[in-house]
Structure 1
């Protein structure tokens, strides 16, 4: 969750105005600040390897006749060098507070133009409009390939390996684990990011870069809520919907692995009693699982049992919500939905904001199965 004051949390539940501007960075240096940003949108999705993607138009009046239109690698907004930090400012009466939405890599300039006037026989730039497309910082790791296959030794710390592979800050949001066996990561396009994603799965979740620019693990298990979305005239939730889907409720898991010598390992776990029993009316719904980090029979048995327990313990389904813009929440946050026909607690898996007064989010909720 992004940082904000208690007063801001209170203001966001009522009527407020908001405005978006951007700061521009070259490396760690802020070269421009508070630029007006129009026609913008920013979407984040846990289902994407590069979770955050956005676009918008910088509008900049020139005081000295200079242009902001980039030319190749030159210019503060060149996609060869620029990072942008969208900042949302919320106002209500005398209250004002700004929230950083994160830092993003500029990946393209789809449009750019200068507006000029003739002055003393020459054209002078009076303003620039520059369109930008930008990605969250997972893109830096995707672009940075392995030069040759990299090995993670057995008993290496998963978090230490993420630090080594990304050279970025890491916040340990789940307990660290050691890798059960030697792992060699392939040198290929996007291979470094794939390695980080797999290490996230080993840690029991999904690896993403948060709004503070640090790698975190969004855990599979839904914890306590950190924010509330409310219904009502001045609330935040305008529309919700949910559905039941049994296709992903598996009552049998078949594991196929190899030991350190390349010999096959097999393990099966199934539900033997209750409404989800393989001998009951639900019948069998089989999932197949494999992992090259499993090298012993004990690890195989533990792995398939964990996958089965996760399936029968809960079924996740998505609730689509349209709500007033809240700059504090981000993907991975656990939020509570109150004031609906039943209370819901779930994880935000998508968040889409724009220059509209509303945003759309997806809340992934666990439905307990008895």
Structure 2
């Protein structure tokens, strides 16, 4: 994107992409010394994120990871692409079979992102990284300005998805069952209080010990009771350095707002539309 303001002009890279189609092309001609020559041309492009490369590349047969290999190491092996570590790496607790099916390689990378407590995405530098589930400190600021608007703020609260008890069911390396339970015992969301008990069941093939099971259910419980997420649609001044996965703070509105960028829509307008996923604190 080229940003211009008066005499100032600067080009900013929006990322690396794969061109998937050329839907249009046009040429402009002029007569010069009795000959018609092309003086300008325009080509329309459709392009996709580089995770398209991983989606297109299938497994020839089911592949098995090695026990103890790191999650980031497995992402490097499966994608053959650069990887930037954004959260703490973990060792895969057991062998995992990646199925040979359409999109199976990309599904495997996404599952490894979940193992790292986040979402695996390709960033603007063409490297895989993991966007953590937890919303941290803001790294970028969005400004409303005179004509900027907050288009939609959700006021609805859906408590059906607020679980105060998590029951986990797993198997160890020998196929023996492992069970773990985590529940809220104090406060407004306590299982013994007026809210009652709302149970979620959880399992994962990558949990193979009791300690891993206990940590897993506690993590799922913390995500549930800590906040409920909702999306906010914001129209604000263009900021070409904003990326999907960034934690952004919004200034110029009636109250502070911090959320993770889930979608960005750019055009030749001086404004852009951004979807922020915001946590609503419940307790």
Structure 2: unaligned runs, 5 residues or longer: none
Aligned to 1:344: 257
Structure 1: unaligned runs, 5 residues or longer: 1-87
CA contact (8 A) 2:18 2:50 kept: yes
Alpha-carbon distance in 1 for matches of 2:270, 2:145: 16
The answer to whether residue 271 in structure 2 is matched with residue 362 in structure 1 is: no
Q: Greater CA deviation, 279-288 or 170-179?
A: 279-288
The answer to whether residue 148 in structure 2 is matched with residue 242 in structure 1 is: no
Question: Mapping of 1:1-370 within 5 angstroms?
Answer: 88-112=1-25, 128-233=41-146, 236-243=148-155, 244-370=157-283
Give the structure-1-normalised TM-score: 0.70
CA contact (8 A) 2:142 2:237 kept: no
- Deviation, 1:161, is 1.1
Alpha-carbon distance in 1 for matches of 2:39, 2:247: 46
CA contact (8 A) 1:259 1:296 kept: yes
Question: What number of residue pairs does the alignment pair up?
Answer: 282
- Deviation, 1:245, is 3.0
Name the CA shift for 1:298/1:324 in 2 (closer, same or farther; >3 Å): same
CA contact (8 A) 1:245 1:317 kept: no
Q: Greater CA deviation, 307-316 or 115-124?
A: 115-124
- Deviation, 1:102, is 0.6
Q: Greater CA deviation, 137-146 or 239-248?
A: 239-248
CA contact (8 A) 1:237 1:324 kept: no
- Deviation, 1:219, is 0.5
CA contact (8 A) 1:252 1:285 kept: yes
Alpha-carbon distance in 1 for matches of 2:274, 2:19: 24
Name the CA shift for 1:119/1:98 in 2 (closer, same or farther; >3 Å): closer
- Deviation, 1:299, is 2.0
Give the structure-2-normalised TM-score: 0.90
Alpha-carbon distance in 2 for matches of 1:351, 1:284: 38
CA contact (8 A) 2:238 2:272 kept: yes
CA contact (8 A) 2:145 2:236 kept: no
Alpha-carbon distance in 2 for matches of 1:188, 1:123: 53
- What SS class does the counterpart of residue 247 from structure 1 fall into? helix
Q: CA RMSD in A?
A: 2.4
- What SS class does the counterpart of residue 100 from structure 1 fall into? coil
CA contact (8 A) 1:253 1:268 kept: yes
Give CA-to-partner distance per residue, 1:126-159, whole Å, 9 cap, x none: 6544332110000001111112222211211111
Alpha-carbon distance in 2 for matches of 1:95, 1:214: 31
CA contact (8 A) 2:140 2:249 kept: yes
CA contact (8 A) 1:241 1:321 kept: no
